Amino acid sequence: MVSSDSVNSRVETLSSSGIATIPKEYIRPKEELINISDIFEQEKSTDGPQVPTIDLKEIDSENENVRERCREELKKAAVDWGVMHLVNHGISDELMDRVRKAGKAFFDLPIEQKEKYANDQASGKIQGYGSKLANNASGQLEWEDYFFHLVYPEDKRDLSIWPQTPADYIEATAEYAKELRALATKVLRVLSLGLGLEEGRLEKEVGGLEELLLQMKINYYPLCPQPELALGVEAHTDVSALTFILHNMVPGLQLFYEGKWVTAKCVPNSIIMHIGDTIEILSNGKYKSILHRGMVNKEKVRISWAVFCEPPKEKIILKPLPETVSETEPPIFPPRTFAEHIQHKLFRKSQEALLNK
C-alpha cells in the first residue's frame, strides 16, 4: 500500500501541483545562492575557464608519443580540475541512449507506480526510489527525486529492487555498468602511472575487480518555479574514487574552480568524470576532488545518471600512498576507512550547519 505521505513528499508532486513559490525548506541560505542565474544563459557563455574535454581515442595507441600525449592530458585535467568531459570513451552512443531512455521511462511512470520501489532510509534500506530527507542540521531540502542502486559487481546486485518497467531497464543498465567498470580500469591505470606508480596500483588500492562497488544514482530534477532560490544538489565533493555522469543534455552541473562557480557545457556523446575524495586522498591531494552542485530550472526537466565507483566501506584504510609523501610533501589526510571518511564529512557538515544557524 502506497501512503499519501510518501507520494506528497516527492519533489515531482510539488512541481506538478502548480505552485508559484517553493516551500521554505527548499530555499537555500543566501551564501549558497551566489552565481545562481539562468542556467541556459550560463551554459552558452564562453567567458572564463571551461571544464576540459579529454579525447580518449588514443589512450591505448601503439604509437608511444600519441599515447603519452593523450594520457598526459587526462592527468593534467585530474590535477588542475578533477573533472572532465570524456569523449571517444569506448561506450557506444546506442548503449548510452538505451540507458537514458530506460531511466526516463521509469521516471515517466505515475508516482504511485514508482513508490513500489521506494527506499526506507530510516531502516537503512537505501536502495530504491527516494527524495532527500532533511537529515542535516539546517533542515534544508534539495529539489530532486532519485533512484539509487548498486549496479556492479554482478554478484552483489539485488535485481529485485531494480525497475521491471521499462522492459529494457535491467539489460541496458547492467551492460552500461559492465562497460563503465572497464573504463574505470583504463582511467585508474593512467592515473597510477601519472603518480609514478605501477599501472595496476590505484585499482588495487580501491578494492580491485572484486571489491570496487559501482552505485548508480539517477537524479531527477523536476521543473522548479523559483530556480534562483533552490538547488537540485547542494555543493559537495564526491566520496568515491571516480564518478561517471551521463545526462539528458539539459545543463545544471556547476564546478567551484579558482573561487568561482563554472557551468559545465553539454558535450554530445560525452561522459563527465569526477575524481572523488578517495583518489584525492591516495594521491595526497595531487589529483583534485572538486566541489560541485546541481542547478535547477523552470523550463526543462533535467535527468543525470551518476555512477559512483566506491571502495569497500571497512576493508581498506584510505591514506596517502607512501610514494606520494615526502619531507616537503607530508601526508595531508589522516588514515581512515571509507566508512569513517563518510562519517567525518557528515559530522563536519552538521557542525557547519549548526554554526550558521
Distance of CA 220 to the CA centre of its chain: 13
Torsion from C-alpha of 342, 346, 351, 356, nearest 10 degrees: 130
Mark whether 217 is an active-site residue: yes
Chain position carrying cell 542547478: 295
CA distance 273 to 85: 6
Catalytic entry in 75, 132, 238, 274? 238
CA R_g for the chain: 20
CA distance 288 to 281: 9
Coil, strand or helix: which one is 164? coil
Query: Could you tell me how many residues make up the chain?
Result: 357
Catalytic entry in 104, 116, 204, 236? 236
Angle at 240 between CA 221 and CA 172, to 5 degrees: 60
Mark whether 158 is an active-site residue: no
Chain position carrying cell 609523501: 325
Angle at 296 between CA 102 and CA 263, to 5 degrees: 100
Catalytic entry in 85, 89, 132, 217? 217
Closest to 261 in 3D by CA, of 2, 10, 43, 25? 43
Mark whether 344 is an active-site residue: no
Taking CA atoms, 221 is separated from 197, 288, 303, 308, 322, in Å, by: 40, 27, 6, 19, 42
Catalytic entry in 89, 149, 247, 292? 292
CA distance 35 to 236: 16
Instruction: Say how many CA atoms lie within 13 Å of 83 toward its Cβ.
Output: 21
Closest to 299 in 3D by CA, of 250, 248, 244, 259? 250
Mark whether 238 is an active-site residue: yes
Coil, strand or helix: which one is 230? coil
Sign of the Cα pseudo-torsion (275, 276, 279, 280, in order)? positive
Residue 143 burial (CB count, 10 A): 26
Coil, strand or helix: which one is 271? strand
Provide the grid cell at 345.
Answer: 564529512
Q: Please list the active-site residues.
A: 217, 236, 238, 292
